[in-house]
Structure 1
Amino acid sequence: MKRTIILDLDETLVHATTHLPGVKHDFMVMVKMEREIMPIFVVKRPGVTEFLERLGENYKVVVFTAGLEEYASQVLDKLDKNGVISQRLYRDSCTEVNGKYVKDLSLVVGKDLRSALIVNDNPSSYSLQPENGVPIKAFVDDLKDQELLNLVEFLESCYAYEDMRDAVTDLLAN
């Protein structure tokens, strides 16, 4: 059975804003917000395409976002041209805890949490299963950012662990 990598969208894979960003944006989506259509400018994190392709070779790749489906599905359609992402979960799948959107990984993998990790810039979003969380620096518009390319090697090495959470423990200990 393939193991699962669950990815956050905003500030992990892309940065999206309603204002023109300070750097060249990669694409734009139009989202209806309160009866008005808003342009959302999207900057892809450097290396995101290669990151998804490499993960897709060995893992089931899932995106779990606190973003609204109308927005996030359009972004993912443009981001995932090769269909690497096999499952998408949006804000309506999040659990609200103290006013924050929290992602329950058991919605993706059931009870066996040994075979799944979540990559997210916001640790409170995986607070239900913190031992499955792989923290990543938030991406805004640093086009020299190398986080995904550094992370893909770590994630590929996690396959050697029977329980992928042990890989995270080792990573955070170093």
Structure 2
Amino acid sequence: MSILKFHCRLLRCVTKCFKVTTVSYPSTKHGYTNLDEEPQDPMTEHTKMKRTIILDLDETLVHSTTQIPGVKYDFMVMVKMEMEIMPIFVVKRPGVTEFLDRLGENYKVAVFTAGLEDYASQVLDKIDKNHVISQRLYRDSCTEVNGKYAKDLSLVVGEDLRSALIVDDNPSSYSLQPENGVPIKAFVDDLQDQELLKLVEFFECCDSYEDMRDAVKDLVAN
């Protein structure tokens, strides 16, 4: 068992102990018990905090190319490039649909891509059939740093960077907030790739951390 998984299980056990030993009483008004008001769990404010997972698109969720790829592609989109309509062939990373659906159960999910909106919006419409992704940011929202596109996470979550992480294959993309970056191997055409499903397990552990950046430290350390 990895140190990260052990840490997650330990924190969950501690949380359960606190929940078991905490006694909640119905509120009373003028000597009468109000049964319509549910008792407040002291852990609710923390555990129900709305947290955000921000996802890169290209080489993280999909691989796109103007040439027919060497493996079977999943779909094609038509994009205007230099006054010409070009076909873009898209290969979905294995597990992307399950990954999005499972993330959506516990998190707000956003996509922040350096891709152009005309292209990226079509791809996202194709892969997000269940409308899990609630916010989309494109190249025009990126910040240029040393000639590279960086993604300012405060555009998504404001100042509360404890409650957000970004998954991106390019570390330059989260150079403005490196502690919030979750690295992932770039995807091209490996149809046996399991990186997204591994990340689901990681994110299911993150609810044990008050500051999600501490979870990243444990992930990188292992």
Report if TM-score (shorter chain) is over 0.5: yes
Task: Give the aligned partner of residue 177 of structure 2.
Answer: 129
- Work out the CA distance in 2 between the residues paired with 1:148 and 1:156: 13
1:85 paired residue number: 133
* Counterpart for residue 168 of structure 1: 216
- 1:12-60 Cα offsets, whole Å, 9 max, x none, are 0000000000100000000001110000000000000000000000000
Q: CA deviation at 1:99?
A: 0.8
1:16 aligns with 2:60: no
Distance apart, 1:160 and its partner CA: 1.1
Q: Distance in 2 between matches of 1:3 and 1:22?
A: 38
Q: Which one of 100, 104, 108 corresponds to residue 56 of structure 1? A: 104
Q: Provide the rounded CA distance (Å) in 2 between the counterparts of 1:152 and 1:137.
A: 15
Shift of 1:90: 0.2
| Structure 1, unpaired ranges of 5+ | none
Which of these two proteins has the greater Rg computed from alpha carbons?
2
Would you say how many aligned residue pairs link Structure 1 and Structure 2? Answer: 174
Q: Which has the higher strand share?
A: 1
- Structure 2 equivalent of residue 148 of structure 1: 196
**Structure 1: which amino acid aligns with 2:63?**
H
Paired with 1:173 and 1:133, the residues of 2 have a C-alpha distance of 14
Structure 1 position 63, deviation (Å): 0.3
Q: Which residue of 2 aligns with 1:38?
A: 86
Partners of 1:172 and 1:26 in 2: CA distance: 32
2:167 partner SS: strand
Alignment partners' CA distance in 1, 2:111 and 2:96: 13
AA matched with 1:146: Q
Aligned to 1:101: 149
Greater RCO, CA 8 A, separation 6+: 1
What percent of counterpart residues are identical? 88
State the 4+ residue runs in structure 1 displaced beyond 6 angstroms.
none
Residue of structure 1 in register with 2:14 after alignment: none
Instruction: Report the CA distance between 1:86 and its aligned residue.
Output: 0.2
Q: Please give the alpha-carbon distance, in whole angstroms, between the structure 2 residues aligned to 1:90 and 1:156.
A: 27
* 1:88 counterpart letter in structure 2: R
TM-score under structure 1 length normalisation: 0.99
1:15 is paired with a residue whose SS is: strand
The secondary structure found in structure 2 opposite 1:137 is coil
Letter in 1 for 2:127: L
Shift of 1:156: 1.4
Q: Equivalents in 1 of 2:75, 2:50: separation in Å?
A: 32
Deviation of 1:106 after TM superposition, in Å, equals 0.3
